[in-house]
Amino acid sequence: MAMTLLLLWRPAVAQSLCAPAPDFLHRFEVKLGEFVVLRGDTSNGRQIVVTRAEDGRWSIIEITEDVGCLLMEGEASEFDNGI
């Protein structure tokens, strides 16, 4: 299943936001209503996590050695059927 993202992010803010991964993901769930919708491993041993809220807000988080860092965030997204 593919996800269409309308990229509306603030990279300067996103690059500096890091925390221990379990706490980081929990804060996204509790404070923003974003839940993990996709996890993937990179070739260099990192994990990429995509979270999404029901209102379409989304975040992309990179996890390295149990530390999560926000890479991008946006205000609108939608799931499509791979079309």
pLDDT in tens, 26-73: 999 999 999 999 999 999 999 999 999 999 999 999 999 999 999 999
| pLDDT, position 80 | 84
CB 77 within 8 A of CB 7: no
Is the pLDDT reported for residue 23 higher than 80? yes
**The dihedral of CA 44, 45, 46, 52: what is its sign?**
positive
| 4 confidence band (pLDDT: 50, 70, 90) | very low
What is the rounded average pLDDT of the residues 68-79? 92
pTM, whole model, 2 decimals? Answer: 0.76
Measured between alpha carbons, how far is 41 from 47 in angstroms, rounded to an integer?
A: 4
